[in-house]
């Protein structure tokens, strides 16, 4: 039985203000904390024991997931006193693993939505005899990513920084944030200090001649690190474009949780998710968006590709497009907020005070 480590301790700075009160893996996507989808997918691949490496807002995970039995899992939680980075976090939970030195251990970043064939990654690892195996995905524009070229047999040949010139784009393969480690390799990561698995552990292993194997799997993959990506990922889960056994309801244009109130003349499309206790008023149109618990979208408001935080209120006729409204914020009527604008938690915008704005 393969065990898994989930890295869920990051501060999620790119996702603010969604991560002001809630760690990124606990922000609801398609009606449940995003982490639920990852845990359910790991369980479906045969994983039974998962150790969560927590740091930022660590206290919220265990009250929600408990011992994991609701998901058919045995969950354990380990909290870092100081954030240890991705590699330090993996090393810090090693004592909780039950497996032997030569056994494979799955490691997942806690913010990746993917259709990765988890069993195939473990099989690739075992059959290639690698020390570490990495899920690689191909991206259309590799300029924003560190690149991971491989040889004809799939063996990793380098870890390259973000390319600065067209000549430096030697591959379109990037690290997709899911790995299989030989247990013994985890024990070689230095303990008790911050370590980046991407910047220190992997390049160091390669330099020492270790065998790092890449497995390119080009199914659905999205890093939910930014608000736009998070909203997209939630909508894709609701629409059924992204696979998860944990979406609470049928796939389709909308997901409305029990206890939400949607007026008969409101229109919900494009994978919109509406949380418990939220209210969507008459004439409102909400497309491809996430409306969290207890939020209110007023009459004739138009909400597109946006996220409305828990308990936030959107006034009548207000237009949100590509906007993120923090928990408890109030956007008065007749405003227009577009193009990546973020409204901080608890902020109040008066009626008609914003016509257009951007954080770009
Ligand atoms: P940004 O601040 O927006 O970059 O997000 P992040 O803090 O989540 O960082 P990043 O996306 O690079 O992290 C990748 C994964 O590692 C995420 O699942 C994080 O939760 C996790 N992670 C990052 N740093 C730490 C850490 O110090 N400790 C633990 N336990 N997990 C971490």
Whether residue 9 has its Cβ less than 6 Å from ligand 1: yes
Instruction: Give the distance (Å) from ligand 1 centre to CA of residue 80.
Output: 13
Instruction: Give the distance (Å) from ligand 1 centre to CA of residue 344.
Output: 21
Query: Which residues are tagged catalytic?
Result: 162
Q: How far apart (Å, rounded) are the C-alpha atoms in residues 180 and 343? A: 39
Lowest-confidence pick of 100-109, 259-268, 296-305, 351-360: 351-360
By most ligand atoms within 8 Å of CB, the mutation choice from 5, 7, 202, 230 for ligand 1 is 7
> pLDDT tier at 163 (50, 70, 90 boundaries)?
confident
CATH architecture of 253-357: 3 Solenoid (2.160)
> What's the pTM?
0.93
168 pLDDT above the threshold of 80: yes
Percent of the chain with pLDDT over 70: 98
359 pLDDT above the threshold of 60: no
Instruction: For domain 3-223, give the CATH superfamily.
Output: Spore Coat Polysaccharide Biosynthesis Protein SpsA; Chain A (3.90.550.10)
> pLDDT tier at 358 (50, 70, 90 boundaries)?
low
pLDDT per residue as tens digits for the range 251-301 = 999 999 999 999 999 999 999 999 999 999 999 999 999 999 999 999 999
Q: Of the candidates 78, 208, 221, 212, which has an alpha carbon nearest to the alpha carbon of residue 153?
A: 212
Q: How far apart (Å, rounded) are the C-alpha atoms in residues 321 and 287? A: 9
Q: How far apart (Å, rounded) are the C-alpha atoms in residues 327 and 347? A: 9
What are the structural domain ranges in the chain? Answer: 3-223, 253-357
């Amino acid at each position: 039985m393969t065990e898994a480590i989930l890295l869920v301790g990051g501060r999620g700075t790119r996702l603010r203000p969604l991560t002001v009160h809630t760690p990124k893996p606990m922000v609801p996507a398609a009606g449940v904390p995003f982490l639920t989808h990852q845990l359910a997918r790991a369980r479906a691949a045969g994983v039974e024991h998962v150790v969560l490496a927590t740091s930022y807002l660590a206290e919220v995970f265990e009250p929600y997931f408990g011992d994991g039995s609701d998901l058919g899992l045995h969950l354990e939680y380990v909290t870092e006193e100081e954030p240890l980075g991705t590699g330090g976090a993996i090393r810090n939970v090693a004592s909780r693993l039950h497996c032997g030195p030569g056994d494979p251990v799955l490691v997942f970043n806690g913010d990746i939505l993917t259709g990765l064939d988890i069993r195939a990654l473990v099989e690739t690892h075992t059959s290639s005899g690698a020390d570490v195996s990495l899920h690689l995905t191909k991206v259309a524009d590799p300029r924003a990513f560190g690149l991971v070229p491989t040889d004809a047999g799939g063996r990793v040949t380098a870890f390259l920084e973000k390319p600065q010139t067209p000549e430096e784009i030697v591959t379109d393969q990037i690290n997709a944030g899911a790995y299989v480690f030989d247990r013994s390799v985890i024990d070689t990561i230095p303990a008790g200090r911050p370590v980046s698995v991407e910047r220190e552990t992997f390049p160091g292993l390669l330099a020492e001649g270790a065998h790092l194997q890449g497995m390119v799997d080009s199914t659905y993959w999205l890093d939910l690190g930014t608000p736009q990506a998070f909203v997209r990922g939630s909508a894709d889960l609701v629409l059924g474009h992204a696979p998860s056994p944990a979406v609470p309801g049928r796939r389709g244009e909308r997901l409305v949780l029990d206890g939400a109130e949607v007026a008969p003349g409101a229109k919900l499309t494009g994978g919109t998710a509406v949380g418990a206790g939220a209210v969507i008023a008459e004439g409102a149109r909400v497309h491809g968006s996430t409306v969290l618990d207890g939020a209110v979208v007023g009459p004739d408001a138009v909400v597109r590709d946006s996220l409305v935080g828990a308990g936030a209120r959107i006034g009548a006729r207000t237009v949100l497009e590509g906007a993120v409204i923090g928990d408890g914020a109030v956007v008065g009527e007749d405003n227009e907020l577009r193009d990546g604008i973020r409204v901080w938690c608890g902020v109040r915008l008066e009626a008609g005070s914003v016509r257009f704005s951007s954080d770009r």
